[in-house]
Amino acid sequence: MTTERNVIKTSFTARTPVKAVSIYLVVIAALFYALWLSDALPASLAGQPTQGLIDAGTPTNFVQVLDMAWLLPALVITAVGLWRKQPIAYTLAGALLTYAALLTLAVLSMVVFMVQAGQPVVVPQVVIFVALFAVSSGIVIGYLKNLKSSPASVPTPSPLPTAIPL
């Protein structure tokens, strides 16, 4: 099954805030790159593991690895594609915006359980994640509101034969 990529793009109104969404995706990527690199880079240059790795007893921070290898590049690539109004970026932007909102909500739920368990939490980080959740939710809602109520017509493939003639 194939997808007409231009159909995805034409499913959005001309008012879709592609520039604002692109900028937001790059800002999210830049903030997380700065956060992860501020932790990992000094320790790497010193030839020492980070304090977080020492405390966790793990050889690497898998969240940082996954973020810097997959998620953050995906945010940047999608932002560039959306800025250029490439059709596939419209789909990826919706998915990544939704992911960002859900991820911040997951982090906030972890904070609730940490507080219940008596674990220390860093209040400024909680405030940042509350703000990220609010902004991400607002942007994804604003983005998806620009979907047209009736999608553009998609060519339907011809049906496959139910039996192969001999």
pLDDT digits (tens, 9 = 90+) for 43-98: 889 999 888 888 888 888 888 899 999 999 999 999 999 999 999 999 999 999 99
**CB within 8 Å of 61: residues ≥ 6 apart:** 36, 39, 40, 50, 52, 53
Q: Is 47 left (phi over 0), alpha (psi -120 to 50) or beta?
A: left
The pLDDT of residue 151 is above 60? no
* Domain extent for 40: 7-144
What would the pLDDT profile of 36-58 be if each residue is shown by its tens digit?
Answer: 899 889 988 999 988 888 888 88
Question: CA-CA distance, 9 to 4, in Å (whole number)?
Answer: 10
- Residue 56 has a pLDDT of 84
Q: Does residue 88 lie within any of the structural domains?
A: yes
Q: Does residue 62 lie within any of the structural domains?
A: yes
Percent of the chain with pLDDT over 70: 87
Q: Does residue 161 lie within any of the structural domains?
A: no
Question: Which tokens sit at 6?
Answer: 């231009």
Q: Does residue 163 lie within any of the structural domains?
A: no
Q: Does residue 66 lie within any of the structural domains?
A: yes
Question: Which tokens sit at 15?
Answer: 């008012």
- Residue 165 has a pLDDT of 57
17 alpha carbon, distance to own chain's centre: 17
Question: CA-CA distance, 134 to 157, in Å (whole number)?
Answer: 41
- If one counts the domains in the chain, the total is 1
- Residue 29 has a pLDDT of 95
Question: CA-CA distance, 136 to 32, in Å (whole number)?
Answer: 14
Kind and range of the H or E element at 62?
helix 62-66
What would the pLDDT profile of 108-120 be if each residue is shown by its tens digit?
Answer: 999 999 999 998 8
Question: CA-CA distance, 98 to 138, in Å (whole number)?
Answer: 10
Q: Does residue 139 lie within any of the structural domains?
A: yes
Q: Does residue 129 lie within any of the structural domains?
A: yes
Q: Does residue 160 lie within any of the structural domains?
A: no
Task: Name beta bridge partners: 12.
Answer: 147
- Residue 58 has a pLDDT of 87
